[in-house]
C-alpha cells in the first residue's frame, strides 16, 4: 500500500525553490538541493535541506539524489557548526503522515543543539503535534532573513 502523504494545495518548498515565496530564507543552493532556514526555530539556526525535485519521500529518490541530499546535509551541518559552535547537532527526517511529515517533499532537519536546551527531541519524534508548536518558536520573517545571512556568512569555508 502506498504511504499516506499530507496534501498541501501547493508545495511550500517548491514555491520557495521557484522564487514564488520567500517564507523560507535560503542558506545555500546546489544543482540538486537547497538549504533553508526553518521558520520553526526550536533551536537558533535550525535548518531544512531539500531536493530541488519534488520527491515526496526518501523512497522516491534516485541514488544520485540521495547522495546529493546527504552531502548537502553534511555541508549544512558544517556551516551551522562554524556559525554557532553548537554543543551537538541533531539530524532527522520523516516520511508519510504516520511519521508526521507535514510537507510531502523529502527533507532533512539539521539542528544545532545547546546543552541545557528545553528542546529535548524533535516534535515528530517526541510525539508533539506540529499543531501545538509552542508560542515563539515560529520566528518573524525579518528575523529568519537575518538568521539566513548569519549562517551564509559561514558557508564559504572549505570542508574537511
For the CB of residue 20, give the shortest distance to Zn ion in the complex, in Å. Answer: 12
Start-to-end Cα distance in the chain: 42
Among 3, 5, 8, 14, contact with Zn ion (rule: CB under 5 A): 14
Q: Which parts of the chain are beta strand (E)?
A: 26-29, 33-37, 47-51, 88-92, 107-113
Among 52, 105, 113, 139, contact with Zn ion (rule: CB under 5 A): 105
Other CB atoms within 10 Å distance of the CB of residue 63 = 7
For the CB of residue 21, give the shortest distance to Zn ion in the complex, in Å. Answer: 12
For residue 72, what is the DSSP state? H
Among 11, 23, 58, 66, contact with Zn ion (rule: CB under 5 A): 11
Residue 13 contacts Zn ion per CB under 5 A: yes
Choose the binding region for Zn ion from 25-33, 99-107, 125-133, 152-160 (rule: CB under 5 A). Answer: 99-107
Cα-only R_g, the chain? 15
Q: Nearer Cβ to Zn ion, position 11 or 100? A: 11
Amino acid at each position: 500500500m502506498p504511504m499516506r502523504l499530507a496534501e498541501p494545495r501547493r508545495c511550500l518548498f517548491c514555491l520557495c525553490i521557484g522564487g514564488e515565496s520567500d517564507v523560507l530564507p535560503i542558506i545555500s543552493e546546489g544543482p540538486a538541493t537547497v538549504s533553508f532556514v526553518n521558520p520553526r526555530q526550536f533551536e537558533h539556526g535550525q535548518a531544512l535541506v531539500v531536493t530541488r525535485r519534488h520527491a515526496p519521500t526518501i523512497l522516491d529518490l534516485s541514488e544520485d539524489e540521495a547522495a546529493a541530499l546527504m552531502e548537502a546535509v553534511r555541508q549544512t551541518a558544517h556551516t551551522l557548526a562554524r556559525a554557532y559552535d553548537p554543543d551537538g547537532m541533531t539530524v532527522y527526517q520523516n516520511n508519510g503522515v504516520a511519521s508526521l511529515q507535514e510537507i510531502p517533499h523529502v527533507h532533512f532537519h539539521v539542528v544545532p543543539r545547546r546543552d541545557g536546551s528545553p528542546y529535548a527531541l524533535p516534535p515528530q519524534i517526541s510525539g508533539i503535534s506540529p499543531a501545538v508548536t509552542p508560542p515563539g518558536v515560529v520566528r518573524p520573517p525579518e528575523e529568519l532573513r537575518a538568521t539566513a545571512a548569519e549562517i551564509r556568512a559561514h558557508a564559504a569555508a572549505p570542508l574537511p
